């Protein structure tokens, strides 16, 4: 039995080393991003307003959310010379459209419309709705953004200019998580502000952006046409990742914007929060399997905890306590450096002591991603195929209580 504990201690040591290496990579990538963001801001100051093209904002909605009106209104308030907003839903009686209509009435000067797509014939219902909106859009420049995203008045002025370079096919944004007030959404928001951007920044530093983040993306019609239209992503849950990857493969550059948006969470139970994160992890596993497998070595707390237990079991408790402390402060530093230093999330600074718990939860969802291929999405059941595509297993009519897109 002592040999088993020594092997586990070795595993813990390897994991502690790998997560420490990842931390230093994240710190380096964060500094690189901050320097690039500063340069992007300087170039924007010299941008001519007359050169800014008209933009079509495409926003699928699905069901009620506590702060839906506030999120939607932030797009109507853009300080930008010319834009329209298209809202997409499956059915005309979707309750989210009632909120949209109320906001539209407050901004009659902003051109906006509602597009009802009907029941989806593609596996990804959101992409089906987006295709209908793109067909009716008047501009060749698009913003694709989820319904739970809030932006500042200067959003369009910051994300559209890079697309004036015809070699750039897509601009994508990092985001900070905004919790709903319950403990589970608070932990989930920490993950959005720390864990996710850490991985994105390191990937950008190592190989450049080859994917996109669905919270807020800007692209052009010619880039979409070159990949066969938005339909190229219709069979995938991670349509944002696939869209960016297809645009990159078509020869365009993907730009990680200096602009940060807010991902507004809804109140949820532990089961709902864990289920959503498990679904995302399963999607990542099938979207980029090799990278997902390596992700297991970037977590710190599981190895710190394993080191503490295994070292204590063979009579070396001080070693175990040292490994646990190293793992704990590894994640505290990550929360401060990335969550606060890059994403500017005050909660990542205030609750940096809590982020190690979020790291442990992230590892559990990572383990869970290797279980079933089935997942629940907006009250419907799907299954991942070997190629990462999604196959509907059980669909039903629109529900007013369905999850946000």
Q: What is the pLDDT of residues 327-368, one digit of tens each?
A: 999 999 999 999 999 999 999 999 999 999 999 999 999 999
Do residues 378 and 323 lie in contact, with contact meaning Cβ atoms separated by under 8 Å?
no
The mean pLDDT value for 270-291 works out to 86
**50-284: CATH topology:** Spore Coat Polysaccharide Biosynthesis Protein SpsA; Chain A (3.90.550)
Residue 155 CA to residue 177 CA, distance in Å, equals 17
Do residues 370 and 203 lie in contact, with contact meaning Cβ atoms separated by under 8 Å?
no
> Residue 57's beta-bridge partner residues?
85, 143
pLDDT tens column, 68-84: 999 999 999 999 999 99
The mean pLDDT value for 38-51 works out to 66
Domain extent listing, the chain: 2-27+290-394, 50-284
Looking up tokens 């905890």 gives 305
Q: Report pLDDT for 400.
A: 35
Q: Report pLDDT for 289.
A: 83
Query: How many other C-beta atoms are found inside a 10 Å radius of the C-beta of residue 208?
Result: 12
Residue 217 CA to residue 125 CA, distance in Å, equals 18
Predicted TM-score of the model (pTM)? 0.92
- The CA distances from residue 104 to 112, 157, 183, 288, 405, in Å, are 7, 22, 33, 39, 20
Kindly state the percentage of the chain with pLDDT values over 70: 95
pLDDT confidence bin for 399, thresholds 50/70/90: very low
Region for 118 from its dihedrals, namely left if φ exceeds 0, alpha if ψ lies in -120 to 50, beta otherwise = left
């Amino acid at each position: 039995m002592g040999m088993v504990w020594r092997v586990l201690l070795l595993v813990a040591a390897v994991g502690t080393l790998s997560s420490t290496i990842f931390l230093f990579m994240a710190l380096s990538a964060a500094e690189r991003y901050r320097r690039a963001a500063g340069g992007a801001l300087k170039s924007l100051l010299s941008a001519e307003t007359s050169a800014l093209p008209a933009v079509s904002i495409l926003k699928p909605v699905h069901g009620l959310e506590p702060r839906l009106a506030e999120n939607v209104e932030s797009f109507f308030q853009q300080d930008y010379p010319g834009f329209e907003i298209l809202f997409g839903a499956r059915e005309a009686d979707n309750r989210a459209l009632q909120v949209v209509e109320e906001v539209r009435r407050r901004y009659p000067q902003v051109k906006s419309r509602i597009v009802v797509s009907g029941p989806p014939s593609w596996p990804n219902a959101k992409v089906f709705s987006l295709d209908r909106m793109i067909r009716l859009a008047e501009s060749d420049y698009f913003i694709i953004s989820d319904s739970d995203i809030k932006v500042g008045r200067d959003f369009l002025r910051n994300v559209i200019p890079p697309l004036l370079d015809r070699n750039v096919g897509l601009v994508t944004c990092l985001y900070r998580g905004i919790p709903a007030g319950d403990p589970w959404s608070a932990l989930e928001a920490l993950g959005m502000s720390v864990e996710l951007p850490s991985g994105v920044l390191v990937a950008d530093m190592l190989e450049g952006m080859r994917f996109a983040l669905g919270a807020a993306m800007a692209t052009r019609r010619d880039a979409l046409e070159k990949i066969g239209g938005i339909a190229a992503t219709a069979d995938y849950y991670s349509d944002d990742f696939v869209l960016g990857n297809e645009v990159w493969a078509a020869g365009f550059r993907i730009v990680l914007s200096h602009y940060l948006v807010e991902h507004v969470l809804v109140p949820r139970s532990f089961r709902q929060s864990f289920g959503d994160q498990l679904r995302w992890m399963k999607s990542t596993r099938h979207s980029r399997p090799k990278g997902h497998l390596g992700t297991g070595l970037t977590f710190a707390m599981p190895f710190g905890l394993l080191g503490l237990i295994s070292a204590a079991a063979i009579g070396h408790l001080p070693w175990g306590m040292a490994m646990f402390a190293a793992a704990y402060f590894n994640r505290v530093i990550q929360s401060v450096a990335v969550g606060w230093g890059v994403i500017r999330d005050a909660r990542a600074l205030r609750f940096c002591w809590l982020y190690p718990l979020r790291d442990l939860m992230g590892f559990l969802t990572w383990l869970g991603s290797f279980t079933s291929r089935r997942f629940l999405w907006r009250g419907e059941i799907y299954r991942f195929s070997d190629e990462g595509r999604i196959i509907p297993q059980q669909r039903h009519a629109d529900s007013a209580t369905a999850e946000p897109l």
